[in-house]
């Protein structure tokens, strides 16, 4: 079974699917679908692999998290010169 996240719930209670989902499922206006609702499984912090990356690097700019866009795009522009 394929699971998709619904993009929005409209004021009148209807669900709005993205164009990508409609195209992939080949849905047209008025087509009926089956919706399965289940709670999301939360991963405890101690098991989350992304949280294990925090603090992994001791080097780099001291404002790297605050200025990451500047660092990424400035270097990209410099490489294109």
Question: Residue 49: what are its φ and ψ, rounded to 5°?
Answer: -65, -30
CB 29 within 8 A of CB 17: no
Question: Cα(32)–Cα(21) distance, rounded to whole angstroms?
Answer: 14
Which of 12, 15, 38 lies closest to 25 in space, CA to CA? 15
CB 45 within 8 A of CB 51: yes
Instruction: Indicate the pLDDT class of residue 78, thresholds 50, 70 and 90.
Output: low
Per-residue pLDDT tens digits for 18-46: 888 888 889 888 888 887 877 778 888 88
Instruction: Indicate the pLDDT class of residue 2, thresholds 50, 70 and 90.
Output: low
Distances (CA, A) of 7 to 10, 16, 23, 38, 54: 10, 6, 14, 16, 30
């Amino acid at each position: 079974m394929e699971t998709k996240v619904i993009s929005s719930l409209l004021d009148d209670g209807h669900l709005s699917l993205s164009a990508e989902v409609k195209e992939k499922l080949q849905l047209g206006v008025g087509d009926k679908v089956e919706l399965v609702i289940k709670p999301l499984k939360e991963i405890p912090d101690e098991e989350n692999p992304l949280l294990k990356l925090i603090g992994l690097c001791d080097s780099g700019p001291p404002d790297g998290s605050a200025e990451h866009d500047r660092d990424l795009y400035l270097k990209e522009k410099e490489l294109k010169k």
